[in-house]
Structure 1
């Protein structure tokens, strides 16, 4: 709860920070909290849960009394004619026809009434009520799945920004190191101790280092924009991450993850709920073979007059009422219900097959994720050793060169090897962090560290 309050406060303060051109400091935990409040997919999933709640209320309402009011005011420009037989004792000998035309009715009629219908028995109502509640549960699972996907995307984007920031720091250090070497070599060339080719060789290495720095800066800008997009923040905000890659490179915690048994995956829960919904639809179709019984009632007041002014006179109005039971019995619908029932059963078989497949896929996903993480950890260890060795080789080459017992070419090659080792180490570290996220997702524990 405290994390949510902090996230809301932080997000509300962001527009003011952006207008003031201030930097917004974020940890990974804070970035995740803001994402779960502001990501568009999460927002829509939350709205879907509200729709499901309204659906439950709508379904429940159909079992409550349904009351409607009616009001009519009719004018008959020509009153209908009714024909009567011209026979005794009501016949009129003066009329030559064998029928007598008669007008029954008045020019104006009005009525005011209320109708009530209360369901007594309808099998589909109770099934529908259960289905609505199950649908609400499904939307809750959909929200959880969306939050897991957002957490995965934000974590990977966050690590991507940290990696590019570290690449920039290393590239700047490399450029500073090669600039120092370039200045020293130029001085030695001017003093006649080294040839011009030695200066050119280092200049080429300096240009390569500068290019690497500019690429890292461009990659950082792109990764920052990706992170803000995943968090649901406008691109104008200036984010500054307060953590470094070493804060997440916890070997013990990562190794423990390999022995974690995990928990039930949300995808299986979603499929199980869908199977339940199809089963309820099957019961609904079966229940439609049963009759429906309703209690009906109405009350009516009606009046009439030959003139509009006399329609609403009290003496021209009369009342009536009705109370009864209505039963509807299905007899034959062309086997439509039977076809729907057959379709439901086939759909359940499809979902059961899909559930089995996804369960097996999850096992394979966990196996692959653990294998990838183990492999990435091994590669990371090797790359870390290579980085230390590359630093030692460069330092030794630099010392030999300054003492006049080593060549300029050795220093350039050692510097290039050091830069390559740094890049490989950062790539291995990022791959390891991404593999860790993939394993957490495969085990179904990716969202357990986030408090709702």
Structure 2
């Protein structure tokens, strides 16, 4: 018996541990850590550091070492006049070189002035900032999707709670009618009608259970959670908050979308400068130092006594490149870069207009949702009062079963309408938080 109790406690402990209570804050933070979009955005930021290193390398000394080993199986011969060798009137074929030849050298190349390289370094640093802003925008988009999905699942869960209460209430009424029928005070048709209503409610409940499972799966996918993980939404998520009334201090210039476009504009300007730099002179220095070995024997580790001779060589030089005429290709590229800048300016104007509209729409929608929510809340109270009165009247024969069922339906509809109004309010609240550029606040506090 003691062994069985231990197993039971361990089994219950496993399920208690398996189910995770998921607030909106928890869901958002989980998504930012695990969802592919957020992870890839962070990797882009990390990768930008390596891009900077790559561009910076072009401005640093380029040093390389190389070596060769050649065996001249057949030495090339040159024709020399016999006069040079005391044999006038003859042409003598003389081989030049040695069968074995080897080199070992180190070379260096350093950019002294190259405007394209220096501009590219500035662009790489701006690219890092661009990816950071883009990662922030990606996080905000993830937060918005998670919040909307979270509240959608919570809406269905609230509807499920409502229908459970309706089923309990209808079952209670059914028991009253059954008692009246057993005592000859109610008709069989009344009992059948209430049974049909109860069965329909149970069918609707199963549909909501299925819908909730699908929505929870969608939410787990959006946050990157294992599908086998059970989740539980806390009851206080749908409480009305006093988030956010908008004042004149709200500035759409602080929106991440605008910051991203501004940084993109900066990159396009640098791109234009880099193209212009292709027409500038460039100056670089190169140097090398090495050894050359020649001989009739394998040269490595050999000495003059072995017929192998080594000599050193070195050279230092400057390379100056002055573009003179390139057919106008640089000029055409500069014009194209300028068009890109102007197109982005048009996008910025349109984005500012869209963000301003979304801010005003969010305020309007939130106010309208709050009005609707208050109306629906009052309707719930009225519908409940009506249902209570009709139940009492039905018991004393002062109301028909149709009146009772209609009151039940109206009360359930009022509760569902209130739930829908809550969802509309919360979605409007998310849109207002987004319009104010404060979606990151959902990672810090429950809204």
Both proteins in one fold, TM over 0.5 = yes
Q: Compared with structure 1, are the counterparts of its residues 239 and 258 closer, same or farther at alpha carbon in structure 2 (3 Å cutoff)? A: farther
Q: How far off its partner does 1:191 sit? A: 2.1
Q: State how 1:49-448 maps to structure 2 within 5 Å.
A: 49-84=45-80, 86=81, 88-90=83-85, 92-93=87-88, 95=90, 99-246=91-238, 248-250=239-241, 252-254=242-244, 256-257=245-246, 261-263=250-252, 264-308=254-298, 310=299, 312-315=301-304, 316-448=309-441
CA deviations on 1:344-368 (whole Å, 9 max, x unpaired) are: 0111110000110111111111122
Q: For the Cα contact (< 8 Å) 1:304–1:312, is it kept in 2? A: no
3-state SS of paired residue (1:353): helix
Partner SS for 1:129 = helix
Structure 1 residues 431 and 258, CA, compared in 2 at 3 Å: closer, same or farther?
Answer: farther
Structure 1 stretch displaced more, 403-412 or 351-360: 403-412
Q: For 1:44-92, what per-residue CA distance to the aligned partner results, in whole angstroms no more than 9, with x for missing partners?
A: 00000011111111111111111000110011111122223x2634463
| TM-score (normalizing by structure 2) | 0.91
User: Whole-Å Cα distance in 2 between the matches of residues 262 and 198 of structure 1?
Assistant: 63
Greater CA drift, 202-211 or 419-428: 202-211
Superposed displacement of residue 333, structure 1: 2.0
Query: Once the 2 structures are TM-superposed, how far is the Cα of residue 118 of structure 1 from its aligned partner?
Result: 1.2
* Number of aligned positions between the proteins: 428
Quote the Cα distance in structure 2 between the aligned partners of 1:390 and 1:154.
34
- CA shift, 1:32, in A, is 1.7
CA contact (8 A) 1:109 1:311 kept: no
Q: In the alignment, which residue of structure 2 is the partner of 1:25?
A: 21
SS in 2 for 1:206: helix
Runs of 4+ in structure 1 displaced over 6 angstroms?
Answer: 17-21
SS in 1 for 2:439: coil
Q: Counterparts of 1:259 and 1:18 in 2: how far apart (Å)?
A: 52
- CA separation of 1:372/1:289 partners in 2, compared to 1, >3 Å: closer, same or farther? same
Name the SS for the 1:429 alignment partner.
Answer: helix
Change (3 A) 1:386 1:305: same
Kindly provide the CA deviation profile for residues 127-168 of structure 1, in whole angstroms up to 9, marking residues without a partner as x: 101100110011001100011011111212222222222211
1-side partners of 2:333 and 2:443: how far apart? 43
Greater shift, 63-72 or 404-413, is seen at 404-413
Unpaired runs of 5+ residues, structure 1, are: 1-16
Distance 1:187 1:172, change over 3 A: same
Query: Per the alignment, in what secondary structure is the counterpart of residue 88 of structure 1?
Result: helix
Normalised by the length of structure 1, the TM-score is 0.90
CA RMSD of aligned residues (A): 2.0
Question: Equivalent residue for 1:43?
Answer: 39
Residue 245 (structure 1) shift: 3.6
Contact kept? 1:83, 1:100, Cα under 8 Å: yes
Structure 2: distance between partners of 1:334 and 1:103: 48
Find the residue that maps to 2:397 and give its secondary structure: coil
1:207-236 per-position Cα deviation (integer Å, ceiling 9, x unaligned): 221122112211211121111111111111
Deviates more, 1:197-206 or 1:413-422: 197-206
CA contact (8 A) 1:18 1:236 kept: no
Instruction: State the Cα distance separating 1:18 from its structure 2 match.
Output: 8.3
- Closer, same or farther: CA 274–162 of 1 in aligned 2, 3 Å: same
Q: Match of 1:244, SS? A: helix
